[in-house]
Structure 1
Amino acid sequence: MSTSDMTPTRAASGRIRELVRRIAVDVFGTSETDVPIPGFTIFTDRRLDDPLAGLRAALLMRLVAEAQLYDYARTARAAGRSWDQIGTVLGLPIGDAPVGEVAFDWLVCGRAPDPDREGMRSFRTSSAYWRCSTCGAQVTDDGPFESHPGDNETSHTDICTRHWAEVAAWAQRTGRTD
């Protein structure tokens, strides 16, 4: 592959792999060895002497990344992004459930998307909490499961223009005023 074939995503993936390898060496105490690549005389591949250290480093990376998914989703909600938008970025939906509901179930309730699981909404106890970037209130977000925005998000201030704009859009979309 030439350098012109290198996309930013592919380059970032390479940096992440290198970071996992560095963590395996620096944190989990393994070392690296250059191993000849079969069929080449001068090219080598770097290998960890203890692959379990690489496994530990990759697991640490995954746990941190999963926590970041939730943190960035919460920050996106605080910035006015919908659960549908978040789910779309995550490449959801899986199965027939609405994209926003699947994203909420995954990131807040801890239920990974499963195309074979029926009734993902049957029992829900989790909520997301974030600070509204418009009114500054700590908002409880119960997910995109109800029609009215006030049933999904509570604790916006009475003068929150973002929340009232969502309520006005809901009223226009549904023709309801309650």
Structure 2
Amino acid sequence: MSVFDASPRTAVSGRVRELVRRIAVEAFGAAEAEVPIPGFTVFTDRRLDDPLAGIRAALLVHTVAESQLTEYARAARASGRSWDQIADALGITTDEVAVVGEAAFDWLVCGRAPDPEPDGVRSFRTPCAYWRCSTCDGLVTDHGPFEGNPANSEDGHAKGCTRHAAEVQAWNEGWEH
């Protein structure tokens, strides 16, 4: 494998870095300079004359990406995905935290990066996520996976929502065993 071969993830990462650099120039007034790389006659490194413009651009991309993370998590919940499945997509494992679904909720809704909590202590006020159920169209207030039973952690499903009823039934059946 040559230095020019890259995984799709690496290639996309390079495009995101290029996008941040372009945003710094276009939106925050930085200028780019091409600096020769010692030992190479063809390759140059592009740098910004104002790294603060780069910080502003990277922060903008970070903020937008973080917003998209939250929106996609809401869409995943709305389509029936669990907080554990979302945690899996985020790469959160039980090697890092005790309960992955709770860690995903903490990260995306509460703004707390995955970090094991000492002695399982939580704050008294837990933030909520809001999303629209794709089955009943109800605006659901999601208190997170902390209580376990969806009957206690999700408010707002329409009466008779088959998805919510199935989730509650599945939880109750799993709890009985």
Q: Normalised by the size of structure 2, how large is the TM-score?
A: 0.90
Contact (CA 8 Å) 1:126, 1:142: kept in 2 or not?
yes
Q: Does 1:110 align with 2:111?
A: yes
Report the AA paired with residue 24 of structure 1: A
Corresponding residue number in structure 1 for 2:71: 71
* 8 A Cα contact 1:109 1:124, kept in partner: no
Give 3-state SS (helix, strand or coil) of 1:108's partner. Answer: helix
Is the contact between residue 35 and residue 47 of structure 2 (CA under 8 Å) also seen in structure 1? yes
The aligned residue for residue 167 of structure 1 is 168
**SS of alignment partner, residue 27 of structure 1:** helix
Partner secondary structure for residue 88 of structure 1: helix
Residue identity matched to 2:132: R
What are the superposed Cα offsets for residues 57-92 of structure 1, whole Å, 9 maximum, x if unpaired?
Answer: 111111111121111111111111111111111111
- The 2-side partners of 1:50 and 1:41 are apart by 26
Structure 2: unaligned runs, 5 residues or longer: none
Partner of 2:150: 149
In percent, how many aligned pairs have the same letter? 64
**Paired residue for 2:33?**
33
8 Å Cα contact 2:157-2:164 kept in structure 1: yes
- Report the alpha carbon displacement of residue 117 of structure 1 after superposing the two structures with TM: 4.3
1:95 and 1:116 in contact (8 A); partners too = no
Hey, what's the Cα distance between the residues in 2 that align with 1:8 and 1:101? Answer: 30
How far did residue 38 of structure 1 move?
0.9
Distance 1:117-1:61 versus aligned 2 partners, 3 A rule? farther
* Cα distance in 1 for residues equivalent to 2:133 and 2:170: 18
Return structure 1 stretches of 4+ with deviation > 4 angstroms. Answer: none
How many residues matched? 175
Tell me the SS of whatever aligns to 2:160. Answer: coil
SS of 2:34's equivalent?
A: strand
Deviations 1:81-123, CA, capped at 9 Å, x for gaps: 1111111111114744300001111111122222464425343
Q: Output the amino acid matched with 2:144.
A: G
Q: CA RMSD in A?
A: 1.8
Q: Secondary structure at the match of 2:127?
A: coil
Q: Which residue of 1 aligns with 2:136?
A: 135
Structure 2: which amino acid aligns with 1:19? Answer: L
- AA partner of residue 18 (structure 2): E
Q: Is 1:62 matched with 2:62?
A: yes
Q: TM-score, normalised by structure 1?
A: 0.90
User: Would the alpha carbon gap of residues 169 and 159 (structure 1) be closer, same or farther in structure 2, given more than 3 Å must change?
Assistant: same
Consecutive unaligned residues in structure 1, runs of 5 or more: none
**Secondary structure, counterpart of 1:33 in structure 2:** strand
SS of the aligned residue for 2:125 comes to coil
